[in-house]
Structure formats: C-alpha cells, structure tokens
Amino acid sequence: MKITSTVLAFSLVIGSLTCYGVARAHGTEKHGTMVPTDAQMKKLHTMMPLFSDASAAMETALKNGDVKALETEAEKITGAIADLKKSVPHRNTAQREKFVARAAQLEKTVVTTVALGKKGLFTEAKASFKKVEAACASCHATFRD
C-alpha cells in the first residue's frame, strides 16, 4: 500500500511538472490572448501553417529537381500573400508598412526561386530559397515571436 501511494504521489508530481513545463513554453503569453478576434486574424492563423507546409515542400522539390512540385507549392504561398498584405501582425502593429513590405519581398523571392528552378539552375534556386526561409524567420522575429 505504501509503495502504491508513493508511486501515485510521484506520478502526480511528474505530471504536474510536465503540465507546468508545457504551459511555460508559451512564455508570458496567456491563453486566449492570441485567439483570432476578427476574420483577417483568422486568415493569418490559417496562412502560417500553409506557408510552413508549402515551404517545406518547396525545399523537397528543389532537392529532387521537381519543377512542377516547386511551382505548385510556390503558388500556394504567392496566392496567400495578398491576404498576408491585408493582415495586421501580432506584434509591432505600428510597423504594419514594414510588415507589408516584407510580405512583398517574400513574394518576390519565391517567384525568383521558381524562375531559377524552371531554368534548371537548382544551385541558384536553392540559394534563393534560403532567402525565402530567412524572410520568414526575420518577419517572425519582428512581428510574431
């Protein structure tokens, strides 16, 4: 009986610490504060996973020399950029013009990556794609994370 109580107590402590650690992973952000409050914010929350998935697929297409897949995934990103430009960032909302400019630069870089891939210049396309990844990281650092 004493072993069972000890195991139970230990399990509760470990479980509590695990839940605390997951909750702390959000930093100072509180649940509910980042819930989309309007249609455009909901679109923004829908776009980010799309960008991430399409970007990963573009990288795979470049590794495989698959121009058709590269074009298909790039179209997903460029197709959503118009909505991205209409969005308001999570943070630094007063710098919205900078946010829109970064979205335009992302679009330009994605288009350049595809153009290079279509020409069969995969080394150059991969280098251009690194700029796509850097654009995403930079924007997140300024406007999201």
DSSP 41-73: HHHHHHHHHHHHHHHHHHHHHHHHT-HHHHHHH
CA-to-CA distance for 107 and 87, rounded, in angstroms?
A: 15
What is the band of 7 on the pLDDT scale with cuts at 50, 70, 90?
Answer: very low
pLDDT score recorded for residue 29: 42
The pTM of this model reads 0.70
pLDDT, tens only, 26-66: 334 443 454 445 776 777 788 888 899 999 999 999 999 99
Provide the domain limits for residue 22: 1-33
Residues 44 and 25 in one domain: no
Residues 24 and 45 in one domain: no
12 and 45 together in one domain? no
The answer to whether residues 14 and 45 belong to one domain is no
- Residue 107 and residue 73 in one domain: yes
Q: Could you tell me which residue, 134 or 18, shows the higher pLDDT?
A: 134
Q: Return the percentage of the chain with pLDDT > 70, whole number.
A: 73
88: domain CATH number is: 1.20.120.10
Residue 40 and residue 13 in one domain: no
Number of domains in the chain: 2
| pLDDT at position 1 | 54
At 18, the pLDDT band (50, 70, 90 cuts) reads very low
- For the chain, the distance separating the N- and C-terminal CA atoms, rounded to the nearest angstrom, is 48
Cβ atoms 80, 92 nearer than 8 A: no
